[in-house]
């Protein structure tokens, strides 16, 4: 166990582990601390939808951050597979967004500027997905929609961090107190002290309380999302189907994730019969043949929701060499590669291709 690191990362979700890997690629020695198991919170629970995005056409800060990821996800997934032997399930499966579930603006948001899309009537939607219910109304086809399988991606990231030989992973290690120590940071780990030249806080929904001791107010709160997993035993769908903020994500083995709720219930990740029944009802409404399907599993995760929408990625005001990357709400996987790139640029104090000013914490002062 090392006592001096170049970077200490608090939180081993998708943002923390991707950042640790990218920092290690730059030759830095990193320690990742998680109060629980690595990748077991929101990052395990999510659906892994990766909407299409075009780097050339992305102009808003959010679009740039997302497009950076979409530009690199295929290569990153291939690298993870080659190095760790773990297939994270990254597949370009296409998506169908029904306009009856929300409005066209939402479909625009998922599509993003410069993204291939085609309007579908009922007949055209059936040609793509023959088991759809009739008369669901017009929809948008997004051929470049992709997905990955969260638990596998997290396992691959963990294995990749170990393979670098530069990252020490410490699950079941809660960081309660920390303080400035010259130009660096000292973290109190229940008896041990870890000295780090830099601190990166990637504590998801817990980031607000974690920063309280600094006097920095970061309005991040947990928003529960429940998921029902159906297992029809055969492949019935190929595309991600989106109905407003809810969706069906078909996996290659035939399983279908149905998500998700948005609930303000604090740090409570129980599931409820009512919400799961609503999700299953949506699934059978869109695909009636799912009516006979068994519910294999149900779970919930706590999304880190942030006031003002954009995630917080930047220096912690008045504390040198301390940074935050949190508040990714419904988009943590889509934004994970861009965020990790931003973290590297911040720690190494170098120019970034990403519009980092838009994500600074000073917005909340
Ligand atoms: C149901 C659901 C569906 C989703 N679907 C999608 C999707 O399709 N596409 C997409 O891009 N995103 C999706 N998301 C969002 C995405 O999962 C999150 O934005 C992302 O996982 C956040 O990652 P994180 O690393 O910031 O947080 P987390 O994964 O929650 O990790 C934070 C970690 O910090 C640790 N921690 C906290 N405090 C401390 C402390 N004091 N000391 C040590 N460790 C600490 C926690 O134990 C935790 O492991 C979904 C989320 C949910 C819940």
pLDDT at 216: 87
| 236 pLDDT higher than 60 | yes
Mutation test of ligand 1: which of 18, 41, 50 has the most ligand atoms closer than 8 Å to its C-beta? 41
pLDDT at 365: 77
Q: Which residues are paired to 188 by β-bridges?
A: 177, 193
CB 309 within 8 A of CB 363: no
CA dist 341 and 233 (Å) reads 39
Region 170-196: mean pLDDT is: 92
Residue 266 to residues 202, 213, 273, Cα–Cα distance (Å) = 19, 20, 18
CA dist 263 and 261 (Å) reads 6
Region 83-97: mean pLDDT is: 97
Region 301-314: mean pLDDT is: 94
What are the pLDDT digits (tens) for 25-67? Answer: 999 999 999 999 999 999 999 999 999 999 999 999 999 999 9
Give the atom of ligand 1 at the shortest distance from the alpha carbon of 325.
Answer: 26
CA dist 93 and 334 (Å) reads 15
Give the atom of ligand 1 at the shortest distance from the alpha carbon of 260.
Answer: 1
What pTM was computed for the model?
0.97
Give the atom of ligand 1 at the shortest distance from the alpha carbon of 205.
Answer: 30
Ligand 1 in contact with 311 (CB < 6 A)?
no
Region 230-238: mean pLDDT is: 96
Strands (E), the chain: 4-10, 30-33, 49-50, 91-92, 95-98, 118-120, 139-142, 146-147, 167-170, 177-181, 184-189, 192-201, 220-231, 240-243, 246-250, 256-259, 294-306, 312-315, 322-326
Ligand 1 in contact with 337 (CB < 6 A)?
no
CA dist 298 and 144 (Å) reads 28
**Percent of the chain whose pLDDT exceeds 70:** 97
Ligand 1 in contact with 51 (CB < 6 A)?
no
Ligand 1 in contact with 333 (CB < 6 A)?
yes
The per-residue pLDDT of the chain, averaged, comes to: 94
Alpha carbon nearest to ligand 1 atom 33, residue: 11
Structure tokens at 174: 């809660």
CB 188 within 8 A of CB 111: no
pLDDT at 190: 81
Between the CA of 343 and the centroid of ligand 1 the distance, in Å, is 17
pLDDT band at 157 (very low <50, low <70, confident <90, very high): very high
Ligand 1 in contact with 332 (CB < 6 A)?
yes
Between the CA of 231 and the centroid of ligand 1 the distance, in Å, is 25
CA dist 365 and 361 (Å) reads 8
The H-assigned helical ranges of 294-354 are: 336-347
Between the CA of 206 and the centroid of ligand 1 the distance, in Å, is 10
What are the pLDDT digits (tens) for 97-134? Answer: 999 866 565 555 666 778 899 999 999 999 999 999 99
Between the CA of 166 and the centroid of ligand 1 the distance, in Å, is 23
Ligand 1 in contact with 47 (CB < 6 A)?
yes
Question: What domains are defined for the chain?
Answer: 4-86+150-219+307-364 (3.50.50.60), 120-138+221-306 (3.30.9.10)
| 248 pLDDT higher than 90 | yes
Between the CA of 234 and the centroid of ligand 1 the distance, in Å, is 30
CA dist 250 and 179 (Å) reads 46
Positive or negative, the CA dihedral 161, 163, 168, 173 is positive
Alpha carbon nearest to ligand 1 atom 22, residue: 332
Ligand 1 in contact with 41 (CB < 6 A)?
yes
Ligand 1 in contact with 331 (CB < 6 A)?
yes
CB 296 within 8 A of CB 199: no
């Amino acid at each position: 166990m090392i006592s001096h690191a170049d970077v200490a990362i608090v939180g081993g979700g998708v943002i923390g582990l991707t950042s640790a890997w990218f920092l290690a690629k730059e030759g830095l020695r990193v320690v990742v601390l998680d109060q629980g198991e690595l990748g077991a919170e929101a990052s395990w629970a999510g659906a892994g939808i990766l909407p299409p995005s075009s780097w050339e056409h992305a102009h808003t800060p959010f679009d740039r951050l997302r497009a950076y990821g979409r530009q690199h996800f295929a290569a990153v997934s291939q690298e993870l597979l080659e190095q760790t032997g773990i297939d994270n399930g990254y597949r370009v499966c296409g998506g169908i967004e029904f306009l009856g579930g929300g409005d066209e603006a939402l479909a625009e948001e998922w599509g993003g500027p410069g993204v291939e899309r085609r309007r579908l009537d009922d007949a055209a939607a059936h040609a793509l997905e023959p088991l759809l219910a009739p008369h669901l109304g017009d929809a948008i086809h997004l051929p470049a929609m992709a997905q990955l399988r969260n638990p596998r991606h997290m396992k691959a990231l963990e294995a990749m961090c170990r393979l670098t030989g530069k990252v020490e992973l410490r699950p079941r290690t809660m960081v309660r107190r920390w303080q400035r120590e010259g130009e660096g940071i000292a973290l109190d780990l229940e008896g041990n002290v870890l000295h780090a030249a830099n601190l990166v806080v990637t504590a998801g929904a817990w980031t607000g309380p974690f920063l309280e001791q600094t006097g920095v107010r970061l309005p991040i709160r947990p928003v529960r999302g429940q998921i029902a997993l159906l297992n029809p035993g055969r492949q019935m769908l190929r595309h991600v189907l989106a109905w407003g903020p809810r969706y069906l994500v078909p996996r290659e083995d035939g399983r279908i994730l149905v998500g998700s709720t948005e609930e303000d219930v604090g740090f409570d990740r129980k599931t409820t019969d009512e919400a799961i029944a609503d999700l299953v009802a949506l699934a059978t409404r869109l695909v009636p043949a799912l009516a006979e399907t068994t519910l294999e599993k149900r779970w919930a995760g706590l999304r880190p929701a942030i006031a003002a929408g954009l995630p917080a990625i930047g220096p912690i005001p008045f504390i040198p060499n301390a940074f935050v990357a949190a508040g990714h709400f419904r988009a943590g996987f889509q934004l994970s590669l861009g965020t990790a790139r931003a973290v590297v640029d911040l720690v190494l104090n170098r120019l970034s291709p990403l519009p980092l000013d838009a994500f600074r914490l000073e917005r909340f002062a």
